[in-house]
Amino acid sequence: MITASGVEVRVGSRLLMEDVSFRVGPGDRVGLVGRNGAGKTTLTRILAGEGEPAAGTVGRTGDVGYLPQDPRTGDLDVLGRDRILSARGLDEVIRGMRRAEEAMAQGEGDVREQAMARYSRLEAAFTARGGYAAEAEAASVASSLGLPDRVLGQPLRTLSGGQRRRIELARILFSGASTLLLDEPTNHLDADSVVWLRDHLRSYAGGLVIISHDVNLIETVVNKVFYLDANRQVLDVYNMGWKAYLAQREADERRRHRERANTEKKAAALMAQADKMRPRRPRRWRRRTWPAVPSGCSPASRGSGSPTRSPGCASPPRRRAAARR
């Protein structure tokens, strides 16, 4: 479960959102939406514990599986399969079992005995973590995401960026984490894999926060929508599915628009009233609204119609025209 209380997020000194509070528990499948640059990725990093809020707190209980938007570089010599299995600590156990097997085959006497004892211990740990069924499950998740066995047997270094990202997604889905944070999970997925992911997530029983441009995926999977409003720097929580959210948000925006228009109308009326009540300035000052006064023109001479006007001190055009008539 993830709990955010009074969270404020900034990049540098720029405020992205403030006073954000929500809870994502088992069965909550949240679509986090908002325009590009609103701060979805930044907020998700904070929820995953990879960043700190400027204010407020984020609490996590249970394991969190986080797929960041940008790829990471870890140990690139690891095999794809081992990277996925590492999510449940199975990679270490399997490697230990392989070493014990070699020692049993090659060793004699005590060495062989010790290797056999080690193998039994490791096999018990392997079984406790789901064992062969888990290994098959990992391979099945990977295959559904377009990663065949051949690819799983290769080190990450030899895989494309898209394949590595799919390995990370497979690892998170295989991990059994109680909360998933998926930032644009369909990037680098083919159409079949997207369909599989959609079906996998729609029945996910843990907590889920998903960011995606794939409206179909969001619509199918989520039962809550968090809308990050970049203009108001707030997160609006909609405890409803996608269609209901769209209707509700439109109604909310219409209401806010009406409220803004009313406030502006009231402000304009107040200002007009204040204008009327403002004491009138003396006539000669009120008239002085023309541009630049040429040097040598005294306020008294300009525009006063005085016959003693200095040369070059023109009257405004309207007055001159009137004088000609």
What is the footprint of ligand ADP within residues 9-28 (CB under 6 A)?
Answer: 11, 16
Tracing tokens 């441009």 back to the chain, one arrives at 213
Q: Closest CB to Mg ion among 41 and 178?
A: 41
The answer to whether residues 129 and 93 touch, using CB atoms and an 8 Å cutoff, is yes
Q: Which of 37, 59, 74, 294 binds ligand ADP (CB under 6 A)?
A: 37
Q: How many Å is the maximal CA-CA distance in the chain?
A: 129
Residue 39, contacted partner among ligand ADP, Mg ion, none, CB below 5-8 A by kind = ligand ADP
Q: Which of 34, 53, 65, 241 binds ligand ADP (CB under 6 A)?
A: 34
Exposure string for 242-273, b = 16+ CB within 10 A, e = fewer: beebeebbeeeeeeeeeeeeeeeeeeeeeeee
Q: How many residues bind ligand ADP (CB under 6 A)?
A: 10
Tracing tokens 């809870």 back to the chain, one arrives at 23
Site string for ligand ADP, 40-79 (x = CB under 6 A): xxx-------------------------------------
Distances, alpha carbon 202 to alpha carbons 134, 151, 188, 223, 287, in Å: 22, 27, 20, 9, 73
CB of 14 to ligand ADP, least distance (A): 7
Site string for Mg ion, 2-41 (x = CB under 5 A): --------------------------------------xx
Phi, psi of 225 (to 5 degrees): -130, 130
CB of 60 to ligand ADP, least distance (A): 19
Q: Decide: is 166 part of the binding site for ligand ADP (CB under 6 A).
A: no
User: 112 by DSSP, 3-state: which?
Assistant: helix
User: 57 by DSSP, 3-state: which?
Assistant: strand
Report the interface residues with Mg ion, using CB under 5 A.
40-41, 69
Residues near ligand ADP (CB under 6 A)? 11, 16, 34, 36-42
